[in-house]
């Protein structure tokens, strides 16, 4: 019944392409929020469910603000729809594309976002990245064959065997826009990495994400959309995190969340570079056993059984640094990570797998809410060559490039 309702709503939603005759006079918007739904993959069936929640959410925002959704999903051509606080015309399909294309193409993404900014100007802008995600992990191509954000199979099917958008390519697409963003909210798995945040630091004031795997159903948009239109920055990001934090079923714990203030990232990078040099110069043994981590590569792959990646940044330095060095670093970290929600456990249910993150203890002191890649000798043998990929990030060159790893 839930899916039947979604199908009916979808028919109603996308049949509206005309303007209401007695529409209220146009006024400049305070905020335009753009949801970029890269759903031509296995998440295609969840896109309409979240759009329906967004339709509910916009009933609580100003009539003069803009909620714009780009949708690329299986079995239909891409389109852009405006969701409105207007009972007579709650949805308006404002652009239809005649041909299918890769929504993971950075040039296409730039063109789409620029079109929205031109046609729906506002005092500031927010961006929701909706789709699959694997954080900073990238390949050589600008449209990658694996990892990063927003897989698109290019065949109009619900399949993940397609092309992804690398985070450096995402940065370049967003930097080419005429405006930066007040916030970027990534409704994707494992995107709260310091590597991703640092890559995007010049295009957004705040970066909101979870370091963990998220549920396929995504954020509770009936609650999150009103949150994202709060004009007080602190209220905006705190409420967004609080509402997403409670999305999991009771037995699965809570979804860890964090917010990074981009202007503080250069100072965090310098503090991290300093503390890493101190750790590695003293020949401290790097021990990742039972550290908080947020991602494992496909355990079904014989050479990557339970391979842990994306360790909690704070937990790593709390264990490995001298107390005085850690406290100095922690000050920079807390200035950058302006809000976080921690859970003592969480579990990840996906369309074809289940992971229980239970082989470590989470405490408020240990939890940082932001992951960081630690180059390790064991990654030389893994299917994905993480040690070879990490130098492709700006964070690596700001922090790791001069550190002697000792192997």
Decide which of 231, 262, 293 is a domain's last residue: 262
The arithmetic mean of pLDDT across residues 258-271, rounded, is 98
Q: With 60 as the cut, is the pLDDT of residue 12 above it?
A: no
Residue 5 lies in a domain: no
Q: With 80 as the cut, is the pLDDT of residue 76 above it?
A: yes
Q: What is the pLDDT of residue 42?
A: 75
Do 288 and 219 belong together in one domain? no
Residue 227 lies in a domain: yes
pLDDT digits (tens, 9 = 90+) for 361-377: 999 999 999 999 999 99
Q: Higher pLDDT residue, 339 or 151?
A: 339
- What is the pTM (predicted TM-score) of this model? 0.87
Do 236 and 272 belong together in one domain? no
Mean pLDDT of the chain: 84
Residue 1 lies in a domain: no
Cβ 152 vs Cβ 72: under 8 Å: yes
For 110, residues 6+ apart whose C-beta sits below 8 A from its C-beta are: 173, 174, 176, 177
Q: What is the pLDDT of residue 405?
A: 86
Do 128 and 153 belong together in one domain? yes
pLDDT band of 246, cuts 50, 70, 90: confident
Percentage of the chain beyond pLDDT 90 is 57
Coil, strand, or helix at residue 358?
A: coil
Of the candidates 39, 291, 315, 52, which has an alpha carbon nearest to the alpha carbon of residue 188?
39
Residue 134 lies in a domain: yes
Q: What is the pLDDT of residue 380?
A: 86
Do 268 and 258 belong together in one domain? no
Do 64 and 204 belong together in one domain? yes
Residue 136 lies in a domain: yes
DSSP 377: G
pLDDT band of 191, cuts 50, 70, 90: very high
Write out the residue range of the structural domain in which residue 126 sits: 11-16+28-262
Q: With 70 as the cut, is the pLDDT of residue 185 above it?
A: yes
Do 246 and 274 belong together in one domain? no
Q: What is the chain's alpha carbon radius of gyration, rounded to the nearest angstrom?
A: 21
Coil, strand, or helix at residue 137?
A: coil
Of the candidates 260, 267, 282, which has an alpha carbon nearest to the alpha carbon of residue 193?
260
Of the candidates 131, 190, 195, which has an alpha carbon nearest to the alpha carbon of residue 165?
131
Do 100 and 38 belong together in one domain? yes
Q: What is the CATH number of the domain that holds 220?
A: 3.40.50.11970
Cα angle value 183/316/306 (rounded, 5°): 90
pLDDT digits (tens, 9 = 90+) for 288-340: 999 999 987 654 555 545 678 899 999 999 999 999 999 999 999 999 999 99
Q: With 50 as the cut, is the pLDDT of residue 87 above it?
A: yes
pLDDT band of 18, cuts 50, 70, 90: very low
Residue 404 lies in a domain: no
Do 114 and 214 belong together in one domain? yes
Query: Which ranges in 282-367 belong to alpha helices (H)?
Result: 313-320, 323-336
Cβ 223 vs Cβ 54: under 8 Å: no
Q: With 90 as the cut, is the pLDDT of residue 208 above it?
A: yes
- Helix/strand/coil (H, E, C) string of 210-229? CCCCCCCCCCCHHHHHHHHC
Decide which of 262, 293, 327 is a domain's last residue: 262
Percentage of the chain beyond pLDDT 70 is 81
Do 216 and 271 belong together in one domain? no
Decide which of 243, 262, 281 is a domain's last residue: 262
Q: What is the pLDDT of residue 25?
A: 56
pLDDT digits (tens, 9 = 90+) for 34-71: 999 988 877 888 888 999 999 999 999 998 899 999 99
Domain total in the chain: 2
Cβ 83 vs Cβ 95: under 8 Å: no
Q: What is the pLDDT of residue 15?
A: 44
Q: What is the pLDDT of residue 300?
A: 53
Residue the block writes with tokens 């590569």: 297
Residue 22 lies in a domain: no
Residue 164 lies in a domain: yes
C-alpha distance from residue 225 to each of 38, 66, 131, 211 (Å): 18, 11, 17, 21
Q: What is the pLDDT of residue 400?
A: 96
Do 182 and 218 belong together in one domain? yes
Do 127 and 272 belong together in one domain? no
Both tokens assigned to 376: 């390790």
Coil, strand, or helix at residue 79?
A: strand
Do 306 and 170 belong together in one domain? no
Measure the CA–CA gap between 309 and 298, rounded to whole angstroms.
11
pLDDT digits (tens, 9 = 90+) for 171-183: 999 999 999 999 9
Q: What is the DSSP string of 223-283?
A: HHHHHHT-SSHHHHHHHHHHHHHT-S-GGGB---EEEEEGGGHHHHHHHHHHHHHHHHHTT
């Amino acid at each position: 019944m839930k899916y039947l309702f979604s199908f009916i709503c979808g028919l109603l939603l996308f049949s509206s392409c005309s303007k209401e005759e007695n529409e209220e006079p146009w006024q400049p918007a305070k905020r335009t929020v753009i949801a970029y739904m890269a759903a031509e993959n296995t998440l295609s069936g969840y896109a309409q469910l979240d759009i329906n929640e967004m339709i509910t959410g916009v009933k609580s925002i100003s009539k003069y603000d803009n909620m714009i959704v780009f949708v690329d999903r299986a079995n239909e051509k891409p389109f852009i729809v405006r969701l409105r606080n207007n009972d007579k015309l709650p949805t308006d399909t404002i652009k239809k594309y005649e041909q299918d294309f890769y929504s993971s193409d950075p040039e296409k993404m730039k063109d789409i976002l620029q079109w929205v900014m031109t046609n729906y100007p506002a005092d500031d802008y927010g961006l929701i990245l909706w789709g699959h995600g694997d954080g900073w992990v990238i390949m050589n191509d600008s449209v990658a064959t694996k990892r990063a954000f927003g897989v698109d199979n290019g065949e109009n099917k619900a399949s993940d065997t397609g092309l992804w958008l690398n985070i450096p390519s995402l940065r370049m697409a967003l930097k080419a826009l005429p405006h930066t963003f007040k916030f970027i909210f990534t409704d994707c798995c494992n995107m709260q990495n310091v590597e991703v945040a640092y890559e995007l630091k010049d295009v957004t004031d705040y970066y909101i994400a979870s370091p963990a795997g998220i549920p396929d159903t995504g954020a509770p948009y009936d609650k999150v959309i009103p949150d994202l239109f709060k004009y007080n920055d602190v209220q905006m990001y705190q409420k967004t995190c609080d509402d997403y934090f409670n999305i999991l079923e009771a037995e699965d714990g809570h979804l860890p969340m964090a917010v990074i203030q981009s202007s503080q990232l250069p100072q965090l990078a310098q503090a991290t570079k300093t503390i890493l040099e101190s750790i590695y110069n003293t020949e401290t043994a790097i021990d990742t056993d039972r550290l908080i981590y947020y991602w494992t590569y496909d355990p079904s792959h014989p050479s990557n059984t339970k391979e842990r990646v994306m360790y909690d940044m704070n937990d790593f330095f709390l264990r490995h640094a001298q107390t005085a060095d850690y406290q100095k670093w922690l000050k920079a970290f807390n200035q950058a990570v302006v809000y976080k929600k921690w859970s003592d456990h969480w579990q990840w249910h996906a369309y074809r797998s289940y992971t229980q993150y239970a082989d470590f203890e989470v405490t408020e002191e240990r939890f940082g809410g932001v992951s960081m890649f630690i180059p390790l000798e064991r990654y030389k043998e893994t299917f994905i060559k993480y040690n070879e990929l990490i130098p492709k990030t700006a964070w690596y060159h700001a922090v790791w490039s001069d550190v002697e790893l000792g192997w």
